[in-house]
Copies of this chain bind each other. A is one copy, B any other.
Amino acid sequence: MGDKFVKTGIKGLDKMLGGGIPEGNIVVVSGGTGTGKSTFGMQFLEEGIKHNDETGLFVSFEERKKPTLRHMAELGLNIKKLEEEKRLIFIEFPVSELEQLFEQEDAIKTMVQTMDVKRVVIDPITPFALLYESELERRQALLKFISKVREWGTTTVLIAEDGEFKEKDIPRSISGIESIADGFIHLSFKLDGWKRRRGMEIIKMRRCQFEEKIHDINITKKGIEALNYKKEKKGKKRFKKEGYL
């Protein structure tokens, strides 16, 4: 596998993925309130900006610029400086103007090419799904959208909110976009007695080998980190440990 991997900035996750997210993959990250999904997106951009000197692009389908920048500042980024140096770009893209995105040379594509953007985070993708009343229309729009994102050539994280699914089943986002994306990472926060336990699970990741389980994670002021990752690798393995999808 001669793939290039893009480091996520999430402690432990790159090891789980055997190096990082395969370059160019479009990855859905979903979870409920307080599971750290926005933090995931920010750490992903931060990793590129801080350690690889990349330009990071943050797109939102909702008016979220201010709270997002404030949140990123809390994670230790010098937002003001980064914006002045054009290393962090924030675009609010109202869903009402979504059609624009489907043109040949859309604004984001132009920006990606001009600024040599390698990483994009779209947070949240949810309003996109809520635009369509018919399931069929939504599926078609999502396919068109994913195909558009692929043109950008970036490694892209799409932040989604959890839809309905049963406890032992495969998680689903409201958008359902994970079924056509290259990867799907799910963040959970389950009650176990009167305690809660945070988890991160790779449900699918094209061109990757990964353990098929929920990993314990922690969220501190430095962001998300996987726990005991090494230890787990030595533990007894009841089921097979690798997926390739």
Contact = CB atoms under 8 A, between A and B. Distances in A.
Contacts of A172: 32-33
Given A135-B130, A143-B62, A179 B161 contact: yes
Contact of A95 (B136, B143, B198): B136
Nearest to A3: B74
B34 A180 contact: no
Nearest to A182: B67
A130 B184 CA distance: 24
Interface residues of A, number: 73
Contacts of A191: 167-169, 214
Nearest to A26: B67
Contacts of A222: 244
A243 interface: yes
Number of copies: 6
B39 A245 contact: yes
A63 B170 contact: no
A86 interface: no
Contacts of A204: 33-34
B35 A170 contact: yes
A113 B150 CA distance: 36
Contacts of A242: 218, 220
A48 interface: no
Given A33-B170, A34-B204, 16 more contacts: A34-B178, A34-B245, A36-B245, A64-B143, A74-B207, A130-B135, A167-B191, A168-B192, A169-B191, A194-B213, A196-B213, A196-B214, A198-B243, A216-B240, A218-B243, A222-B244
28 contacts: A33-B172, A33-B178, A33-B179, A33-B184, A33-B203, A34-B178, A34-B245, A36-B245, A39-B245, A62-B139, A64-B143, A67-B150, A67-B180, A126-B139, A127-B136, A161-B179, A167-B168, A168-B192, A189-B203, A189-B212, A194-B213, A194-B214, A195-B239, A209-B220, A218-B242, A220-B242, A220-B243, A221-B244
